[in-house]
């Protein structure tokens, strides 16, 4: 029996974009939101800080601890999203749920699924991990044989249900939902233009620009409207769109963010990374190519190429191989695990050192450390053990205990490290704060020498293509030499992999490496716009 669903009035719907415009005769049609009141509830770290408990683990937190919540000192770039799509499969929302689980490393602050039963869309989104956002009951309220899903990472300030995805809108062309991995470099400029023309935005997300542009398009088909919108945006996007009867997936012409295609029992699946397919028993077919748009409906799958594409435009994010992607992922036939091992080998060639053992910073430094140890011919040892039970925030037990985030996550193996010359391999240094603590931890454990080796070049530039990075001022390598960084992290020596070595490890050219080189493949319209504008001079 079809469960009863709640249809809420338009202004109350977070992420329900009122895409009508005074001169655009769009007619409101309700999308059925499966469980909006729960999706709206505050939860996650911000709720804890404000004392707004919503059940679960928040419910029993004593009041005196409310402000004593520390962010784990995770000194990494962060991917902002993972996307998933499925068309023509039984229990599509359950498949999306499992797919999002395997993409959870790409975003932990919000998750959502929109499903279709062929006639209308059903939505559920919430703050937190996939397993916290969805229950079996909620998945039962997302019926149909097609679905798209999204996991999102944000910095604490931007963490809000209104920015959770997929965004779902209802406009004159019908219902449409979208999930986006990436960042538009002209999103702000487009948003300002749309607002000047009368559009009202319901979120801070640049993803909403897509739906406004699609809503305004005069094209006849959904595919043409999507293509119309894409011709106006610049930047990084891997997108999945869902209408009641069609799924559209597209990757930007540079291919910054990955998007892969699989097959499941005659239906199709899409995911940011192929391990999502393995979990649901789907077969990987291929990567969606940069600039390719794929349309899936009852007639099957067809590929459209709305953009000029040539191999020289290709700029997939090289950091996917360094850190973001799961080690069991492969893109275009290049295994992330193998690439990381090659980075370790190249790192030894670039930065050799005499030592007794190679120790990885778990988990992302493991494969590179193996490669380094093999090339150096010295033992690989798990001298640091990671606690898998620490989330992004932790209640500080006493005011007197400070800066213990790293020690909560990593534990030194004293019996291994004492009296040893240790090479520590990590994937990157962003601010340097975590590296400094790790070096001290290993030295305190009795190591006689600590040599830090990094399996990527110095990260000196922020990313504008969908990765959460600190400002340039906060990037330690932007304003310190390698020797000065080493002085800060207090290692006996510090060595980075060269950019050439990194490119060799991932198979050559065709990658964005702007955070290492400062050479951005697409100009940053939004960032430069305020500087171009001259101030008014009073008279």
Q: Which residues bind ligand SF4 (CB under 6 A)?
A: 77, 256, 317-319, 463, 465, 467, 512-515
Measured CA to CA, the distance from residue 324 to residue 518 in angstroms comes to 20
Based on CB atoms, which residue is closest to ligand SF4, 257 or 453? 257
Q: For tokens 């990472």, name the residue.
A: 153
The least distance separating ligand SF4 from the CB of residue 520, rounded to whole angstroms, comes to 7
Is the preceding peptide bond at 166 cis, omega within 30 degrees of 0? Answer: yes
H helices present in 269-413, as ranges: 275-280, 319, 336-350, 366-376, 405-409
Least Å from the CB of residue 470 to ligand SF4: 12
Q: Report the residue number whose CB is nearest to ligand SF4.
A: 463
The answer to whether 235 and 254 are in contact (CB under 8 A) is no
Q: How far apart are CA 8 and CA 373, in angstroms?
A: 59
Nearer CB in complex with ligand SF4: 210/319: 319
Q: Cβ of residue 146: shortest distance to ligand SF4, in angstroms? A: 30
Phi-psi category of residue 88: left, alpha or beta, with phi > 0 → left and psi -120 to 50 → alpha: left
- Pair 203, 167: CB distance under 8 Å: yes
* Residues with a known catalytic role: 81
Three-state secondary structure along 373-398? HHHHCCCECCCEEECCCCCCEEECCC
Question: Smallest Cα–Cα separation from 70: which of 363, 406, 364?
Answer: 406
Query: Whole-number minimum distance, CB 521 to ligand SF4, in Å?
Result: 8
Cβ proximity to ligand SF4: between 46 and 460 the closer is 460
CA distances, 251 to each of 25, 166, 414 (Å): 31, 17, 47
Can you tell me the distance from the alpha carbon of 30 to that of 451, in angstroms, rounded to the nearest whole number? Answer: 61
- Closest by CA to 521, choosing from 511, 530, 531, 529, is 511
Least CB distance to ligand SF4 at residue 182 (A): 9
Taking each continuous run of H as one helix and of E as one strand, the counts in the chain are: 20, 29
Shortest separation between residue 241's beta carbon and ligand SF4, angstroms: 23
What separation in angstroms does the CA of 526 have from each of 190, 206, 533? 9, 11, 12
Which of 44/462 has CB closer to ligand SF4? 462
Spatial distance between the Cα atoms of 196 and 174, rounded to a whole number of angstroms: 24
CB of 110 to ligand SF4, least distance (A): 21
Q: Which is nearer to ligand SF4, 134 or 465 (CB)?
A: 465
Q: Minimum distance between the CB of residue 466 and ligand SF4, rounded to whole angstroms?
A: 7
367: Cβ–Cβ under 8 A, 6 or more apart, which residues? 327, 337, 340, 341, 343, 344
- Considering beta carbons, is residue 76 or 420 the nearer one to ligand SF4? 76
Cβ distance to ligand SF4 smaller for residue 300 or 518:
518
**What helix, strand, coil percent values describe the chain, rounded to 5?**
30, 25, 40
Sign of CA dihedral 153, 157, 160, 165: negative
Nearer to ligand SF4, 36 or 260 (CB): 260
Tokens of 170: 């209802």
Tell me the closest approach of the beta carbon of residue 461 to ligand SF4, in angstroms: 7
Is 149 in contact with 142 (CB distance < 8 Å)?
no
Residue 100 or 512 with smaller CB distance to ligand SF4: 512
DSSP assigned state of 10: G
Residue 78 Rama label (left phi>0; alpha psi -120 to 50; beta): beta
């Amino acid at each position: 029996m079809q469960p009863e669903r709640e249809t809420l009035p338009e202004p109350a719907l977070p992420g329900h974009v009122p895409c009508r415009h005074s001169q655009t005769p769009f007619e409101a049609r309700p999308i059925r939101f499966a469980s909006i009141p729960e999706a709206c509830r505050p939860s996650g770290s911000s709720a804890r800080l404000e004392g707004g408990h919503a059940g679960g683990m928040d419910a029993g937190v004593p009041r005196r601890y409310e402000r004593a919540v520390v962010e784990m000192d995770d000194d990494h770039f962060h991917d902002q999203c993972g996307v998933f799509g499925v068309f023509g499969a039984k229990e599509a929302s359950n498949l999306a749920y499992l797919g999002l689980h395997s993409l959870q490393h790409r975003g932990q602050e919000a998750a959502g699924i929109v499903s279709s039963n062929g006639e209308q869309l059903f939505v559920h989104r919430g703050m937190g991990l996939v397993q916290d956002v969805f229950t079996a009951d909620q998945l039962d309220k997302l019926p149909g044989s097609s679905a798209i899903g999204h996991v999102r990472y944000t910095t604490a300030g931007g963490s809000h249900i209104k920015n959770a995805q997929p965004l779902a809108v209802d406009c004159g062309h019908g219902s449409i939902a979208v999930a986006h991995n990436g960042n538009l470099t002209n999103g702000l400029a487009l948003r300002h233009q749309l607002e000047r023309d009368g559009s009202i935005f319901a979120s801070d997300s640049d993803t909403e620009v897509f739906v406004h542009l699609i809503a305004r398009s005069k094209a006849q088909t959904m595919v043409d409207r999507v293509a119309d919108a894409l011709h106006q945006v610049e930047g990084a996007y891997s997108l999945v769109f869902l209408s009641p009867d069609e799924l559209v997936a597209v990757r930007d012409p540079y291919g910054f963010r990955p998007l892969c295609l699989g097959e499941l029992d005659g239906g199709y699946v899409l995911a940011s990374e192929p391990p999502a397919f393995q979990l649901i028993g789907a077969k990987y077919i291929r990567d969606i190519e940069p600039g390719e748009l794929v349309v899936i409906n009852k007639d099957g799958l067809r590929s459209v190429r709305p953009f000029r594409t040539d191999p020289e435009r290709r700029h997939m994010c090289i950091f996917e191989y360094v850190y973001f992607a799961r080690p069991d992922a492969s893109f275009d036939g290049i295994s992330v695990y193998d690439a990381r091992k090659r980075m370790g080998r190249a790192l030894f060639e670039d930065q050799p050192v005499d030592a007794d053992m190679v120790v990885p910073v778990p988990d992302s430094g493991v494969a590179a450390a193996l490669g380094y140890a093999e090339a150096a011919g010295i033992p690989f040892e798990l001298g640091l053990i990671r606690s898998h039970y620490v989330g992004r925030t932790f209640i500080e037990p006493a005011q007197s205990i400070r800066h213990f985030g790293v020690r909560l996550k990593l534990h030194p193996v004293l019996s291994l490290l004492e009296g040893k010359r240790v090479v520590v391999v990590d994937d990157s240094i962003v601010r340097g704060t975590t590296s400094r603590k790790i070096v001290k931890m290993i030295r305190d454990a009795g190591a006689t020498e600590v040599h830090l080796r990094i399996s990527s070049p110095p990260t000196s530039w922020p990313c504008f293509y969908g990765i959460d990075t600190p400002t340039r001022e906060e990037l330690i390598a932007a304003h310190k030499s390698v020797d000065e960084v080493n002085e800060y992290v207090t290692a006996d020596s510090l060595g980075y992999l060269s950019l050439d070595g990194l490119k060799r490890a991932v198979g050559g050219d065709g990658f964005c490496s702007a955070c290492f080189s400062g050479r951005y493949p697409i100009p940053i319209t939004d960032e430069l716009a305020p500087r171009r504008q001259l101030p008014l001079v009073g008279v």
